[in-house]
Amino acid sequence: MKVSYRQAAKDDVIRQFRYYLLELHLPEIAVRFRNAVMQTIRSLCQRPRVGALYTSNNPQRQGLRSWPVRGFEALRIYYLVDRGVIEIVRVLHGKRDVKGVLEDEPPG
């Protein structure tokens, strides 16, 4: 299965990596987080429909799924599955206004 990343998802991962690295001064955690995201996405490629469906009245959010980052369960990967492609939409921490962020997300 092919994987594509929206720019916002890439930015989310970079932001979280930098938080661990620069704010908390935990470079080993930053690297572990980055690796966990990649490993979780590889696992999703094996079973792409495993993630819980995101509930929204917005038709542009239909089919959006989420799955926790292994070892960093407060962070979830939000993604779409379509014709052999997993599109990573966002990677968000549960303490954020996830619904607000996702509802404001422009369509792919």
Q: What is the pLDDT of residues 17-70, one digit of tens each?
A: 999 999 999 999 999 999 999 999 999 999 999 999 988 777 778 899 999 999
pTM above 0.85, yes or no: yes
What is the C-alpha separation between 66 and 9, in angstroms, rounded? Answer: 13
Instruction: Give the CA angle between residues 107, 42, 104 to the nearest 5°.
Output: 20
Sorted by where each starts, the structural domains of the chain and their CATH numbers stand as 2-104 (3.30.2310.20)
- Reported as a single tens digit per residue, the pLDDT across 65-99 is 999 999 999 999 999 999 899 999 999 998 988 88
Q: How many CB atoms lie within 10 A of CB 72?
A: 18
Angle (nearest 5°) at CA 62 between 41 and 11: 45
H or E, element range at 102: helix 98-104
